Amino acid sequence: MSTTLTHAAGRFLDLKALAALQHRRFTTRHRIEGAYSGRHPSRQQGGAGEFVDFREYVDGEDLRRLDWKVFARTGRAYIRLFQDETNLRCMLVIDASGSMRFGAGAGPDAGGSKLEYAQYLATALSQIIARQQDQVGLGVISEGLREFLPPGGARPHVALLQETIEKIHTRPVTDLAGGLRTLFQRLTRRGVLLVMSDFLVDRPEEVFAALRLFRHRRWEVVILHLVHPDEERLPEGLAYRFEGLENDGHVDVTPADIRRLYQERFEAHAAAVRTLALAGGCDYRRVSTATPYLQTLGGFLVERSG
């Protein structure tokens, strides 16, 4: 049974569209630590919950968990193991650097800016996570951790979160790695960290070094690498003046002259991000903003539900 959240729909919240995903759940493949009882397997193996296995008794263990019937029948002491279920704590992290503004002006399904795409995606995810009685938090990173909402499941919290998402604006300066470190310091309990970024930073290694901190604390880290289709290949045309989005000047060029080299470098960058993510034990998914966000979200949820 799912709980329906009802509040005034924001700019990025389309409840009608999300209705198609009402049977989808944001799950995790790992056992997690939750504050409350929920529907996700907990790292705790208590006396309640679903029976999963037997194990020989070890001195000092709670005799209440001893399977007396087996002991009476075989004379050997076994205890019964049960899997606890708890709720999920998901931390949504949105990169609000200048490069995320690329593609602004188009609609959500026509390849708008990467930030807009991330806003749509984060709003929908927050709605889905909250609907399944899980907790969702938000971190907005530009020159540092600009916004931080700790995970929560209350309806006002989710509304505040979605309002915060709606108000996100890009900043020309970015320090994604620094923001992640700050976020790490402020998060005390494990959960799922979902990072939406284009990873167009000078040193991606530092970003993933910060993410490894989360992994060391046994967070599940999910990377959504946002890519705009116009970034993958340069536009057709005789001459362009390309202007940087992060105060990095401009350059006049004929795209045809460097098209192949550019594509090679971009693909090399994407491959490097993917490699770093997988090497760090992160779940990586490359998301093209040309794909409608609901389709992306649906696929993402299906993939995670296994």
Partner 1 sequence: MSFLHPWLLGLGLPAVALPVVIHWLTRPRPRRLPISTLRFIQEAIRQRRAVHRLRDLLILGLRTAAVLLLVWAFARPLIGDRPLVSPGEAGEAARVVILDVSQSLAADVRGIQLFERARPAAAGYLAYVPGLRANLVLAGARPRAVFERPSSNLAALREALAEARVRPERIDAQAAITAASDMLAKAAGDAETRLELVIVSDFQRDNWSRVDFSVLPERTRIQLESVAPPETPANLAVLRVGSQGQAELGGAVTLEAEVGNYSPAPRQVRVEFTAGDGVYRAEGLCPPQARTTLTTTAVLQAGGWQTGRARLLNVEDALPEDDARPFVLDVRPGTVYALVTREPASQLASSSYYLERALVPARPRETRGTEKVIRVRPDQLDRDALAAADLVAVDHPGKLSAEHVALLAAFLQRGRSILYVAAEPVDAVNLKQLADAAGPALKMPVEFLPPSGPARKEQRWTFVRANLTPFSLFGDAVSAAVAPLRFNGGLNARPLPGALADDVLAAYGDSTAALVTATCGAATLAVLNADLPASNLPGSPLFVPMVGELVDRLLGGGRREETVFCGETVIVDLPPDAGPAAGLRVVPPEPAAETGALSDEPGGSVWRCPAVGGPGVYRVARGETTCFALAAAIPPEESDLRPLDANAFESGSGPGRPIHFLAHTGREDRRDSWWVWLAVACVACLLVEVLALRLLRT
Residues binding partner 1 (CB under 8 A): 98-102, 114, 198, 200, 202, 228, 230-231, 234-235, 237-246, 248-254, 256-258, 261-262, 265-266, 269
Nearer to partner 1 by Cβ, of 1 and 261: the residue is 261
- Whichever of 94 and 128 has its CB closer to partner 1, that residue is 94
- Report, in Å, the least distance between residue 124 CB and partner 1: 23
Q: How far is the CB of 245 from partner 1 (least distance, A)?
A: 5
3-state secondary structure of 269: helix
Enter the tokens of residue 70: 């087996």
Nearer to partner 1, 47 or 105 (CB): 105
- Using alpha carbons, list the distances in angstroms from residue 169 to 9, 80, 116, 151, 303: 20, 53, 10, 21, 30
Residue 34 token pair: 């939750």
Closest contact distance (angstroms) between CB of 147 and partner 1 is: 21
Cβ 163 vs Cβ 10: under 8 Å = yes
Closest separation in Å from C-beta 94 to partner 1? 15
Closer residue to partner 1 in complex, CB, 158/200: 200
Q: Report the alpha-carbon angle 26-30-33, nearest 5.
A: 90
In this complex, which beta carbon is closest to partner 1, that of residue 137 or of residue 204? 204
3-state secondary structure (DSSP) of residue 3: coil
Looking up tokens 């049960």, which residue turns up?
A: 82
Taking the least distance from each CB to partner 1, the nearer of 109 and 246 is: 246
Instruction: Give whichever of 97 and 135 is closer to partner 1, judged by the CB atom.
Output: 97
As a whole number of angstroms, the distance between CA 247 and CA 49 comes to 55
Please report how close the Cβ of residue 286 comes to partner 1 at its closest, in angstroms. 15
Provide the token pair at 190: 């494990």
Task: Please tell me the number of Cα atoms within 13 Å of 213 on its side-chain side.
Answer: 18
| Token representation of residue 82 | 């049960």
Query: Rounded to an integer, what distance in angstroms lies between the CA atom of residue 275 and that of residue 94?
Result: 21
CB of 228 to partner 1, least distance (A): 7
Burial class (CB in 10 A: 0-12, 13-18, 19+), 222: buried
For 129, phi and psi rounded to 5 degrees? Answer: -65, -40
To partner 1, the closest distance from the beta carbon of 254 in angstroms equals 7
- What does the buried/exposed string (b/e) look like for 6-27 if buried means 16 or more CB atoms within 10 Å of the residue's CB? eeeeeebbbeeebeebeebbbb
Of 60 and 235, which has the nearer Cβ to partner 1? 235
Tell me how far, at minimum, the Cβ of 117 lies from partner 1, in Å: 13
The three-point CA angle 200-202-206 to 5° equals 100
